């Protein structure tokens, strides 16, 4: 086995007295595919900067093999001093590198190379920075949030490009599908310490949950031991004073260990609390669009587009940057008039929106005023008043951040703020334009769960393939020249039906064939018999909703029983039986929901 190219050992670093990294370690071998994961603020970017040699730790050791080349992609690249994008990329090349690779990569990413770096959009800046780190083909690529601001065609191109490289990769990304497809090892940065997992991200989350569960069990056992020691001190033989003093010291040590464990475990599992405020139920028809058309400067954005969106639909909208996704949303929601066609909005609609550019956030406005509207300490949530500090805590903001200007918040914090504002407003139609930007994986999980429980209608624009698979019931894709087509299911279902992702369909070779004689009219118009639901499928479609309700009630009852903190100590056998029963009910519920969804999609396809 080849020795590691790069190693970090016992890395410690503090900012303002608070430890960020305590015993962080990292090892990168030739050709390795490693993802670095952890919550926002855990220190992932800082650890990557230490690996790149840009930040010196307070303690610990960094070793890089002589002659090994490292390229680092920062979240915010510095283009100062470069006249063109090509000049920036070429500056990264060494004497032995291919000088033509710089322009080739820029062209692959949709750029000419003559762009002014000071006038690039977020997506263009990310593409130029990527070309700059990929052009030299270094031994190690350290890539921080490399998919930020990229559209789906660029993400899929980048995935294929990285898979073809011989360089070792260390990836930080919130894109689950991207990490699943590329990573082979995982480093989990949690509470200042890294834990290595010799598998890719696809298997990481179940392993992480197991680790946290073991920590919780360990903390529970420690609490029980403290209770036993306190009982002994109260009722033990008081004459044995020396032994009492020794056990008292032991008890104090246990209490300290328990406090540390609770504090650490609390940091590991504290989560954002997401819940949408529901308005009164809308009408069955939410949006009906007929023959919509919209163009800008003779460029068609939408051409002859019609759609009916019903209550409970979850429509995902995908396409390359500039395809017109936001324009289409504005047309559908009546915020922008079409050139031709009509849009009819259903009765009793209450819409809440989240825009991708965070345009409604004034950098000078404080966090508190952004949530309350200014001049108040309370925010209206679900028809009741809540103190703004309590609502801030639901979204992982500290009380001292109440007066922090929005311009000083991180990208992830601004994303959580926009979610807090959108979810506080009563709604029966949620319109989310790139809601996953800058959110960590745990927050994405909770956002997905909240949207799964949201009973009303959702329109979603996203470049996150995994997020679309988990949330959307149909996907609308830009086919070019203003054409939009709808596919049943999530992103993966759309790819299976369409034969390609968001990028242009592959051009197949055309084979010359001998012209055939015209068919008889009766044969030319013959069509394949229409597919129908079988008796069993119809029966399942009718009975599964009731079965799902029964399983949900059973799961809630079992979870309530397991919520008893003393159950395990009082009756371990019952705890085990209840846990097994809950696991079976959860599995049955997941299967029932999946079967119902497949049948419902099949029914909709047949009706079309």
**pLDDT single digits (tens) 10-46:** 999 987 667 889 989 999 999 999 999 988 778 899 9
Note the pLDDT of residue 470: 87
Note the pLDDT of residue 406: 83
Note the pLDDT of residue 247: 52
334 and 377 share a domain? Answer: yes
221 and 170 share a domain? Answer: no
What average pLDDT does range 383-400 have in this prediction? 82
What average pLDDT does range 81-107 have in this prediction? 92
494 and 353 share a domain? Answer: yes
Residue environment code for 534-562, b if the CB has 16+ CB neighbours within 10 A, otherwise e: eeeeeebbeebeebbeebeebbeebeeee
C-alpha dist (Å) from residue 396 to 189, 369, 409, 419: 19, 17, 13, 12
526 domain-assigned: no
**CATH code at 69?**
3.40.50.300
**Tokens for 304?**
């002859």
95 and 239 share a domain? Answer: no
264 and 308 share a domain? Answer: no
Inter-residue long-range contacts of 587-592, CB under 8 Å, 24+ positions, other chains counted: 588/551, 589/548, 589/551, 589/552, 589/555, 592/544, 592/547, 592/548, 592/551
Q: Is the Cα dihedral 555, 557, 562, 568 positive or negative?
A: negative
Query: Tens of pLDDT along 211-258?
Result: 888 877 777 666 766 666 555 555 554 444 444 555 556 655 655 665
Q: CA 292, 296, 301: angle at the middle one, nearest 5? A: 45
Note the pLDDT of residue 230: 57
Out of 242-256, 403-417, 421-435, least confident range: 242-256
**Tokens for 556?**
């809630």
Note the pLDDT of residue 587: 80
291 and 346 share a domain? Answer: yes
Q: Give 469's Cβ-side CA count (13 Å radius).
A: 11
Residue 162 CB-density burial (10 A; 0-12 exposed, 13-18 middle, 19+ buried): buried
Out of 91-95, 183-187, 237-241, 537-541, least confident range: 237-241
Provide the 10 A C-beta neighbour count for residue 572: 10
Strands of the sheet with 457-461, listed across from one edge: 351-354, 429-433, 457-461, 314-318, 474-480, 483-488
330 and 444 share a domain? Answer: yes
pTM for the full model?
0.68
What average pLDDT does range 381-403 have in this prediction? 82
**More confidently predicted of 568 and 252:** 568
Out of 113-122, 251-260, 363-372, 450-459, least confident range: 251-260
504 domain-assigned: no
261 and 162 share a domain? Answer: no
**Tokens for 51?**
């690996």
106 and 176 share a domain? Answer: yes
Whole-number average pLDDT of the chain: 81
503 domain-assigned: no
Q: What is the DSSP string of 320-334?
A: -TTSSHHHHHHHHTT
What average pLDDT does range 172-186 have in this prediction? 93
514 domain-assigned: no
Domain boundary among 205, 230, 254: 205
Q: Which of 190, 192, 191 is nearest to 23 (CA)?
A: 192
What average pLDDT does range 527-542 have in this prediction? 66
**CATH code at 565?**
1.10.287
What average pLDDT does range 349-370 have in this prediction? 76
Per the CB < 8 A criterion, the answer to whether 89 and 113 are in contact is: yes
Out of 34-43, 152-161, 181-190, 311-320, least confident range: 34-43
Per the CB < 8 A criterion, the answer to whether 149 and 138 are in contact is: no
Query: Domain limits at 94?
Result: 6-205
469 and 541 share a domain? Answer: no
Note the pLDDT of residue 505: 38
Going by pLDDT thresholds of 50, 70 and 90, the confidence category of residue 594 is confident
**Which of 216-225, 335-344, 430-439 holds the top average pLDDT?**
335-344
Note the pLDDT of residue 148: 84
356 has pLDDT over 80 = no
518 domain-assigned: no
Domains of the chain: total: 4
527 domain-assigned: no
119 and 23 share a domain? Answer: yes
40 domain-assigned: yes
Share of the chain above pLDDT 90, in %: 34
Query: Tens of pLDDT along 287-300?
Result: 999 999 999 878 89
513 domain-assigned: no
Per the CB < 8 A criterion, the answer to whether 72 and 134 are in contact is: no
259 and 291 share a domain? Answer: no
**Tokens for 362?**
């004034």
**More confidently predicted of 454 and 264:** 454
Note the pLDDT of residue 267: 47
């Amino acid at each position: 086995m080849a020795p590691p190219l790069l190693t970090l050992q016992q890395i410690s670093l503090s900012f303002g007295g608070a430890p960020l990294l305590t015993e962080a370690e990292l090892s990168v071998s030739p050709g390795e595919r490693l993802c670095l994961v952890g919550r926002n603020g855990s220190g992932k970017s800082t650890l990557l900067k230490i690996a790149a040699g840009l930040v010196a730790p307070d303690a610990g050791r960094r070793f890089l093999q002589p002659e090994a080349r490292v390229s680092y992609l920062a979240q915010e690249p510095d283009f100062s001093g470069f006249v063109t994008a090509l000049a920036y990329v070429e500056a990264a090349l060494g004497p032995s590198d291919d000088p033509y690779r710089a322009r080739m990569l820029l062209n692959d990413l949709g750029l000419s190379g003559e762009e002014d770096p000071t006038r690039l959009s977020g997506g263009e800046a990310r593409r130029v920075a990527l070309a700059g780190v990929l052009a030299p083909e270094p031994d190690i690529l350290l890539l921080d949030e490399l998919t930020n601001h990229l559209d789906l065609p660029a993400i899929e191109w980048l995935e294929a490009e990285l898979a073809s490289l011989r360089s070792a990769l260390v990836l930080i990304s919130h894109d689950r599908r991207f990490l699943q497809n590329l990573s082979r090892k995982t480093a989990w940065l949690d509470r200042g310490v890294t834990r290595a997992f010799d598998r890719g991200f696809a298997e990481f989350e179940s392993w992480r949950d197991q680790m946290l569960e073991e920590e919780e069990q360990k903390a529970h056992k420690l609490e029980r031991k403290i209770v036993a020691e306190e009982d002994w001190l109260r009722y033990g033989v008081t004459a044995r004073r020396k032994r009492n003093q020794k056990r008292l010291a032991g008890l104090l040590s246990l209490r300290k260990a328990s406090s540390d464990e609770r504090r650490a475990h609390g940091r590991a599992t504290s989560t954002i609390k997401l819940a949408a405020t529901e308005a009164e139920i809308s009408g069955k028809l939410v949006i009906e669009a007929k023959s919509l058309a919209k163009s800008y400067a003779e460029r068609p954005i939408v051409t002859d587009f019609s759609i009916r969106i019903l209550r409970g639909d979850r429509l995902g909208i995908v396409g390359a940057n500039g395809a017109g996704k936001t324009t289409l949303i504005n047309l559908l929601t009546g915020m922008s008039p079409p050139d031709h066609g009509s849009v009819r909005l259903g009765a009793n609609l209450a819409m809440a929106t989240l825009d991708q550019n965070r345009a409604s956030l004034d950098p000078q406005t404080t966090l508190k005023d952004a949530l309350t509207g200014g001049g108040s300490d309370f925010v209206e949530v679900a028809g009741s008043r809540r103190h703004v500090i309590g609502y801030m805590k639901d979204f992982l903001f500290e009380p001292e951040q109440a007066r922090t200007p929005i311009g000083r918040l991180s990208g992830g914090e601004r994303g959580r703020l926009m979610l807090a504002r959108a979810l506080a407003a009563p709604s029966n139609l949620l319109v989310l334009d790139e809601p996953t930007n800058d959110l960590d994986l745990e927050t994405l999980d909770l956002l997905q769960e909240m949207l799964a429980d949201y009973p009303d209608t959702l329109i979603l624009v996203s470049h996150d393939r995994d997020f679309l698979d988990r949330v959307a019931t149909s996907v609308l894709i830009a086919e070019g020249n203003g054409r939009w087509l709808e596919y049943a299911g999530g992103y993966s279902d759309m790819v299976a039906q369409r034969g390609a992702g968001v990028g242009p369909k592959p051009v197949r070779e055309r084979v010359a064939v001998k012209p055939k004689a015209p068919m008889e009219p009766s044969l030319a118009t013959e069509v394949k018999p229409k597919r129908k639901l079988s008796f069993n499928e119809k029966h399942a479609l009718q009975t599964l909703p009731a079965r799902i309700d029964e399983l949900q009630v059973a799961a809630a009852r079992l979870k309530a029983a397991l919520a008893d903190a003393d159950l395990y100590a009082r009756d371990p056998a019952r705890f085990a039986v209840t846990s097994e029963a809950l696991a079976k009910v959860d599995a049955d519920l997941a299967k029932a929901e999946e079967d119902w969804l497949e049948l419902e999609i099949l029914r909709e396809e047949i009706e079309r």
